[in-house]
Structure formats: C-alpha cells, structure tokens
C-alpha cells in the first residue's frame, strides 16, 4: 500500500466542515474589517525565505522543503506566508495600487519538523497582514481582531492571548548584549543547541523548551523592561487600546518568536488543551521586512492562525457537520428512474439537497434503508405503477406520514415544504 508522506495528512470529508466553518467565519469577519483576499504561490525562490525569516532560524536552517527545478533554480515550498505576501506586494507595487493594504490568505504551509499531535509537515494557516500604518491603535486592532476571531469561532475560553515587545533598532542591540552577558555566566547549564544559539541568535534561547534552559532563562533580563522611551510608550499605548476594546491579554516577556523579521509588538494565542504544540496563532509587527526584501520602507503587522490547532479546539466545543440530504429518491425500475432523474437535477439546482438510488433493481426495503442511513427528511418512492398514473409517494421519514403528489408538481411541492 502506498501511504501518505510522513507528516502530511488527508483531511477527510467528515473533518472538512470544521475547516470550512473556520475559514468561512474568518473570511466573513475580515471582509467586515476591510481586508481583501490575496493568493500567493506554494513555491518561491529560496531567497524569499532566507532574506525574511532569517538564516539562523530553525525554519530556514532545518525545516524548509527545498528543490532544484529542471532549470537549476533553487526553490522552496513556503514554510509561512508573510514573506510571500511581502514579495508580492513589492513585485506588484500593491502600495501604489491599493488604497488600503489589508490582506488575508489561507492555504497550506510546509515545514520539515518532527510530526506529533498538532504538528504536521503540511499544515494550514489563515494569515492576516496590514501594511503602511504604524500606530499603537492599529496594533491593538490587529491583536483584538485575533481575539474576536476566536470569540466568533466560540473557542476564546480555550486560549490565552500573550503579548511582548521586542524593541527596535535602538534598544534591541543593547538588550541583546545584556542577555548575552547573562547567558555567558550560565553557559554550562544550557543545552547544546542553546550554547550555539547564544552566539548566533541569543533571543531564541528564551524560547527553548528544555527544562534546564527554561530554569536559567527565568532569571534572564526581560526585554520589555529594557525598552527605549519610544518603544515603552508605544507598548503602553497599545495595551491601553486593548483595554479600551475590552480584550483580555497577559504580558509574557518570554515570547521571542521563531522568525527574525519581527520588530515591536509580538503575540501568541496559547492553549493548554492541545498538548505540547500550544500556539494556536501567532504574529507581530515587522517594520523592516518590506525594505529588507528590496521594497520601499513600508511597516507591517499581522498574524497567522494554525487551522489544524483551531480545529482541535473547535472539536472540544461543538460538533460541526454538513447538512444531510433532504430528499431521497427511491426508484423501482427503469421507467421510474428515467422519470425522476430530471426532477432530482431541478431540485438540486433550486438548492434542495437530493440523492437518488442509481441501482433501480434494488428492493424498496433496501432503498429505504439507504434513505434512513443518509438521514433524508423525505423519501420519494416511485415505481412503474406511479409513473403510469402520474403520481408519486412522498414519505416524511420522521413522522412516517405518506401522501400522493403529482409528479409534475413535485418540484413546487418541495420548494414550498422547504421554504
Ligand atoms: P508561526 O508562529 O511560525 O508564525 O506560525 C503561526 C501558527 O501556525 C502557529 O501558531 C501554529 O498554530 C501554526 N503552525 C506552525 N507550525 C505548524 C506545524 N508544523 N503544524 C501545525 N501548525 C503549525 C508564522 O508563520 C508567521 N508568518 C505569522 C505572521 C503573520 N506574523 C506576521 N504575520
């Protein structure tokens, strides 16, 4: 048997309604917030990710699916969407075309990570990005939007919104050297990876899951306590706006994020109910990214929701399922089938979900068993006799009530019943 690739998962029909529910609900909210959909390719030149996410991050160092195409170009399956959206903004000069730069995008992402509960190698993200505005009120709006999405999905009580501020070009280097000094004094207690991170990307040490590293970093200087005056003001103002909007949050100085493009506010929606992979969504501000990728100096902020993890929470809260077919057509004999098939089509085009038995040699009993199985509300039973008379039998599957309806009036009958 040929199996799916490790970490790549089929989303089977019974799970699809959860994904649809999430995607449709979020799209509805975002359209009201003035966002427009953008669709970007799955493959990009590898530089798109190297120049944005950062060469020393786990994503770029270890987790990218890369390939050489037949023309010899090195490409990568997108591990995230922000870099691709920024590439598209620059390439299409969207800042000159769109009056408001608010985009959303959903689709699969690819990371070569160790698969476990809530962690896949192909997963789905719903991304939200805003460009061109740098105001604390907007940062609060974006964070609030994330919370409102969880609220509208009915899963807000399963998450905790955690916020931090990563400083700017002025204050972050000063904090970095403070952190390196601190980490150097505790070097022997750090894991092998963190010893390496300390030199290449010291903030990432704060994100290490190793219990001993965690104990060390608890005492480490906190970035939000070492912000410059402007960053401190901006962070305070953002939190003020969140209070005005009534959004609950906690400040978590340990949030550093696994991508290098962040500047300023960063945030994560954390759940304690889905195992070790606890971040259901994450994001932050990235004011230098557009410029770093060769575009004009346009600030940005956004987040991505991990759809698989959101589905895990949604399943705790409610059952989402597709609507069952309303009408089942039992047809006994060829004549009945020929008469009913155009009616089934007409009803479907009028928005009434119908199924018809294609094997008209099957007994009435077995056809009615199928009507029960698919949970149809009505069964329309037609045999040769009925066709001759121009009538059919409609059975209400719940009340078991049966009545005769003229075949030529069937469509109108169901339109009225279903109204
Ligand atoms: P990220 O934190 O790498 O951020 O991913 C965002 C979310 O995607 C995570 O919180 C998680 O729910 C989900 N996720 C990540 N990796 C996996 C995986 N292997 N399996 C299942 N779910 C996963 C970004 O990707 C940024 N681009 C977010 C952003 C948008 N920042 C600004 N704009």
Q: pTM, whole model, 2 decimals?
A: 0.94
Question: Which among 302, 311, 278 has a CA at the least distance from the CA of 83?
Answer: 302
Ligand 1, atom 25: nearest CA belongs to which residue? 80
Instruction: Tell me how far apart the alpha carbons of residues 381 and 78 are, in angstroms, rounded to a whole number.
Output: 52
- Tokens of residue 255, six digits: 């949030």
- Closest ligand 1 atom to residue 279 Cα is 10
Question: Which among 248, 249, 265, 266 has a CA at the least distance from the CA of 257?
Answer: 266
Three-state SS at 332: coil
Predicted local confidence at residue 99, as pLDDT: 80
Of all residues in the chain, what percent carry a pLDDT higher than 90?
Answer: 92
Give the model confidence (pLDDT) of 230-275 as tens digits.
999 999 999 999 999 999 999 999 999 989 999 999 999 999 999 8
Predicted local confidence at residue 209, as pLDDT: 84
Mean pLDDT of 221-227: 95
Predicted local confidence at residue 16, as pLDDT: 97
Ligand 1, atom 4: nearest CA belongs to which residue? 282
DSSP code per residue over 205-251? GGG---HHHHHHHHTSPPGGGS--HHHHHHHHHHHHHHHHTT---EE
Ligand 1, atom 31: nearest CA belongs to which residue? 283
Structural domains in the chain, sorted by start: 16-171+227-317 (3.30.930.10), 327-417 (3.40.50.800)
Apex 258 CA angle, 254 and 261, nearest 5: 105
Give the model confidence (pLDDT) of 82-121 as tens digits.
999 999 999 999 999 988 899 999 999 999 999 999 999 9
Which residues contact ligand 1 via a Cβ below 6 A?
Answer: 80-82, 111, 113, 119-120, 123, 125, 127, 129, 258-259, 279-284, 302-304, 306, 308-309
Q: How many other C-beta atoms are found inside a 10 Å radius of the C-beta of residue 136? A: 19
Ligand 1, atom 10: nearest CA belongs to which residue? 281
């Amino acid at each position: 048997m040929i199996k799916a690739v490790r970490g790549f998962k089929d989303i089977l029909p019974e799970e699809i309604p959860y994904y649809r529910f999430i995607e449709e609900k979020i799209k509805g909210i975002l359209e009201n917030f003035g966002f427009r959909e953008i669709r970007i390719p799955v493959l990009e030149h590898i530089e798109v990710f190297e120049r944005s996410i950062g060469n020393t991050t786990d994503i770029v160092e270890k987790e990218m699916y890369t390939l050489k195409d037949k023309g010899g170009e090195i490409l990568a399956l997108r591990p995230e969407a922000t870099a691709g959206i920024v590439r598209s903004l620059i390439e299409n000069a969207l800042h000159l075309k769109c009056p408001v730069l608010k985009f959303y995008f959903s689709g699969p992402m690819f990371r070569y990570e160790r698969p476990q509960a809530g962690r896949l190698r192909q997963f789905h993200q719903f991304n939200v990005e805003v460009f061109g505005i740098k105001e604390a009120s907007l940062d609060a709006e974006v964070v609030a939007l994330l919370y409102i999405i969880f609220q509208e999905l009915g899963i807000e009580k399963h998450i905790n919104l955690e916020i931090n501020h990563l400083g700017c070009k002025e204050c972050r280097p000063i904090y970095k050297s403070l952190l390196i000094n601190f980490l150097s004094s505790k070097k022997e207690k750090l894991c092998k990876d963190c010893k390496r991170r300390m030199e290449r990307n010291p903030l990432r040490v704060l994100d290490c899951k190793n219990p001993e590293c965690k104990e060390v970093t608890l005492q480490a200087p906190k970035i939000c306590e070492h912000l410059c005056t402007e960053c401190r003001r901006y962070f305070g103002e953002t939190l003020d706006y969140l209070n005005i909007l009534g959004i609950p949050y906690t400040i978590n100085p340990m949030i550093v994020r696994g991508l290098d493009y962040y500047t300023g506010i960063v945030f994560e929606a954390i759940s304690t109910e889905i195992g070790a992979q606890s971040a259901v969504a994450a994001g932050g501000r990235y004011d230098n990214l557009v410029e770093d990728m060769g575009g004009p100096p346009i600030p940005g902020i956004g987040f991505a929701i991990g759809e698989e993890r959101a589905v895990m929470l949604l399943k705790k809260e409610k059952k989402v399922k597709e609507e069952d077919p309303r009408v089942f057509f039992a047809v006994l004999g060829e004549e009945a089938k020929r008469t009913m098939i155009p009616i089934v089509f007409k009803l479907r085009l009028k928005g009434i979900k119908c199924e018809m038995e294609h094997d008209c040699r099957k007994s009435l009993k077995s056809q009615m068993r199928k009507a029960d199985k698919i949970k149809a509300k009505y069964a329309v039973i037609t045999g040769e006799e009925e066709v001759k008379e121009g009538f059919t039998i409609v059975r209400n599957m719940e009340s078991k009530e049966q009545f005769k309806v003229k075949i030529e009036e069937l469509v109108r009958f169901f339109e009225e019943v279903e109204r």
